[in-house]
Amino acid sequence: MTSTPVDLSHHLSVEARLRKPNAMKQIWRLARRKPNMISLANGDPHSSLYPIQSMTFSVASVAEKDPVATWRAGGSSAPTHSITSSRDEAPVLPVRTAFQYTTGAGLLDTQEAVTELTRFYHNPPDHIATLTLGNGDGVTKCFRLLGSPGDHFLADEFTFSALANAAVPHGIKWVSVRIDEGGLIPEELEKIMENWPEERGPKPHVLYTVPCGQNPTGSTLTVERRKKIYELARRYDLLIVEDDPYYYLQYVSKASSEEAASVPTGSESSLSPRGLAPSFLSLDVDGRVLRVDSFSKVFAPGMRLGFITSSPFFHAHLVALTDSSTQHPHAFGQLFLTELLGPAGWTLAGFDAWVRSLRDEYQRRRDLFLNIFEREVAPLGLVRASVPEAGMFVWTQINVERHPRFRREGGGAEGPCTNCRQLMEELFEVCLDNGLVVMPAWVFALPTDPKYDGPENSIEDRMHYFRLTFAGTEEAMESGLKVFGQSLKEFFADKPKAVEN
């Protein structure tokens, strides 16, 4: 795919415009101008003083047909693959190189490794990688890069609040977009942009979205919706911050495997060549997508490593932010990742084998969860579970209207029109009393504005959801869903509690 550069510099935040590049890092870059440059410039500890002789990683072998199943079944005797990087020698990154200072983009070899990864799955034109400490870091950096006080950003009405909250102290105001089981509804996004009232302030210019296995709803955008949303982004000059930690955990549905199988060689499938939904990044011809990737869900959350893929323009500003704050991520993770993806490690093909096998494992867990749900909870007729096509979450919808104390109150100018929220708080308490913790919808809800959204559309009236996960153990699913069913029964029976003496 080719791209036409579009000037998107007007999207930069006041903070990003005011920031000067780190002058010392600029001099530091000049040290690379010639080989064997003598440096009396930087106070870099000499590599002979690093107290690390070598680092050896013993990781799961990916030579087996189903590496994750073999790894789990084998316990401490499961087949492993060993990679060693010593002080002066390594397949790719010796310790002495990995542990030096580098630019905010990360070590060159690591940048190359993740760029290859992105090319393999997304093949975007003219994009460049900036290493991060995971998607929490990546997304919040994007917010700081693009958001000034008074700006409006768009997001799904239920969204990953840990990060949405991070935008608020920068003066960014959220505008929620209505969703359904398929995630963000493009027509709702269009309605907001088309009918934006001038007196509300500047028009939104950033969309934050989680396209696969959305947190909390578990929804995944169809290819058609992705294309529509990207076209709307072009029409209304929106940037898209694509937070996609669950990309590799896209489950194989009957429809997707039939589609992949039915595409004749040489013709186009709506899925990417890897059988995964095309990311916004892969559709991006203008450089308006900042894609945020993480290794938390495919390796381990403690990796604290990820990367942003963006146009070179936004990359330069992300590097300036990083150069003057956290600096590049830790060498431990960068070295591990570079060697793992390199010729002596798993290589890209091995990584692909691992993530496919991991996806199968999570899909097995999802199916188990849904089977238990069908047995223990669904027959009550009080709650419905959506079937996630990716990720780790099941969004359950409580049939709150069946509760004896459910009220439709007509609503005032401020909304809400029902007592949905209050009843859900009570149900949450019943679950807690019975020893079960679930994630209530209000944790993820972006507030609606009665003035612009209308009191009849208050998010408070759509709080009848709980997020449950199948990422845990089978025992947790079995016993947790039993308690969930009992709690629902108890709550809907609405018997006054016996007073304890």
Ligand X SMILES: Cc1ncc(COP(=O)(O)O)c(C=O)c1O
Q: Which residues bind ligand X (CB under 6 A)?
A: 134-136, 160, 163, 210, 215, 243, 245, 294, 296, 301, 306
Least separation in angstroms between residue 120's CB and ligand X is: 20
- For residue 175, give the H/E element and its range: strand 173-177
Q: How far is the CB of 210 from ligand X (least distance, A)?
A: 4
In the complex, what is the shortest distance from the CB of residue 133 to ligand X, in angstroms, rounded to a whole number? Answer: 7
CB of residue 251 vs ligand X: minimum separation in angstroms?
17
- Nearest to ligand X of 160, 236 (CB atom): 160
Of 67 and 134, which CB lies nearer to ligand X in the complex structure? 134
φ/ψ of 286, rounded to 5, equals: -100, -15
Rounded CA-CA distance 440/353 in Å is: 35
* Contact partners, residue 335, CB within 8 Å, separation at least 6: 55, 85, 93, 95, 98, 110
Q: Which is nearer to ligand X, 140 or 448 (CB)?
A: 140
Q: Which residues contact 129 (CB under 8 A, 6 or more apart)?
A: 105, 106, 111, 114, 115, 118, 307, 308, 309, 315
The alpha carbon of 214 is separated from its chain's Cα centroid by a whole number of angstroms, namely 8
Q: How far is the CB of 140 from ligand X (least distance, A)?
A: 9
Nearer Cβ to ligand X, position 102 or 215?
Answer: 215
292 three-class SS: strand
Q: Is the peptide bond before 216 cis (omega within 30 degrees of 0)?
A: yes
Our CB check for ligand X shows the closer of 215 and 338 to be: 215
Residue 154: CB minimum distance to ligand X, A: 16
Smallest distance from ligand X to CB 137, Å: 6
State which residue, 166 or 223, has the beta carbon closest to ligand X.
166
| Omega before residue 416 within 30° of 0, cis | yes
- The rounded distance, in Å, linking the Cα atoms of 95 and 48 is 10
414 dihedral zone (left: phi>0; alpha: psi -120 to 50; beta) = alpha
Taking the least distance from each CB to ligand X, the nearer of 110 and 457 is 110
Residues 25, 27, 30, CA angle at the centre, nearest 5°? 110
Question: To which residue do tokens 């935040």 refer?
Answer: 13
The residue sitting closest to ligand X, measured at its beta carbon, is: 134
